[in-house]
A = this chain, B = another copy of it.
């Protein structure tokens, strides 16, 4: 049975992860869970974000489920870089997966978009590009200061994530992959991405392809999100585009994500896109849907596609049945989804 590490984290993290675990326990009894206490509290207590010993223990699990980390008392960037980005790089999580669906019952901010019409997934590269940490500065704090940030891209890294995108498209109905980059300005990296995309596309004659510049894609995500099926793009473009995709499908409050090492050499990590929301923490009013959907992505990755699909369908039913007048109660949402998913 699967061995999962749970990092509940800060703020509403423990509440929403609690419901995700409730749902998983209901549909797949026997999953082994180890809890890891990481996040703001541990940082304040010990000064540590992710000790090597914990990293080594996490490596022994099949997957990681994370609630949320972050707190106004921790300097910005410390937990993001020390925990989230550290795990992505240490565990070679090169597929950053972000599905966006407009669920029945959820209002899009876009007037012309109806539930069911948007169903896209962004396959964002997770281990290269401007996230490599290659940069520096000179003459800091003086009028002569310069600062650089370098985007590092390898054929190895680009090819494997593009292959993953095509493999996902092959399992979907519309079978289409859109490459997003900025080839007219970032000519070196853009050329590497384009040429590699063409090579992989040629091996998949049954999959439709298109290319868009990132500025155009950002615009079309607003005017016509229906047009996308699978989008593959680099780390930073993916960061931006997935937040737009979440916004047009009802907000990051509903968005799930996975940082995946498809080879299975290391554990993949799954987490809601929303933050720790300290303002509403501890009141039992946080919506656990994104955490539950993240758990479904996790189970899907571990080979339990059937169970994952049942959870996803239960979430869909929950959202469709919601009335905007009734406030969300975290535990009740978890109860209903669990009951529905068990069937």
Identical subunits present: 2
Q: Is A265 an interface residue (CB 8 A)?
A: no
Contacts of A317 in B (CB 8 A): none
Contacts of A130 in B (CB 8 A): 151, 185-186
- Among B108, B145, B154, B218, the residue within 8 A (CB) of A146 is B154
Would A214 and B185 count as touching, CB distance under 8 A? no
Q: Is A304 an interface residue (CB 8 A)?
A: no
Alpha-carbon separation in the docked complex, A161 to B139 (Å): 20
**Residues of A147-164 contacting chain B, CB below 8 A:** 147-156
Alpha-carbon separation in the docked complex, A219 to B186 (Å): 24
Contacts of A202 in B (CB 8 A): none
Alpha-carbon separation in the docked complex, A135 to B81 (Å): 25
- Among B108, B154, B219, the residue within 8 A (CB) of A243 is B219
Alpha-carbon separation in the docked complex, A201 to B136 (Å): 25
Q: Is A112 an interface residue (CB 8 A)?
A: yes
Alpha-carbon separation in the docked complex, A147 to B186 (Å): 10
Given contacts A110-B109, A195-B141, contact A147 B188 (CB under 8 A): yes
User: Residue-by-residue, is A86-100 near B (CB-CB < 8 Å gives 1, otherwise 0)?
Assistant: 000000000000000
Given contacts A148-B150, A185-B131, contact A251 B239 (CB under 8 A): no
Would A146 and B153 count as touching, CB distance under 8 A? yes
Alpha-carbon separation in the docked complex, A144 to B155 (Å): 6
Pick 15 A–B contacts, CB within 8 A, sort by A: A77-B185, A80-B185, A81-B184, A81-B185, A130-B151, A135-B187, A135-B189, A137-B192, A139-B155, A143-B155, A143-B156, A182-B236, A218-B240, A218-B244, A223-B251
User: Which 6 pairs across A and B sit closest by C-beta, in order of nearness?
Assistant: A145-B155, A111-B111, A222-B247, A147-B188, A77-B184, A147-B192
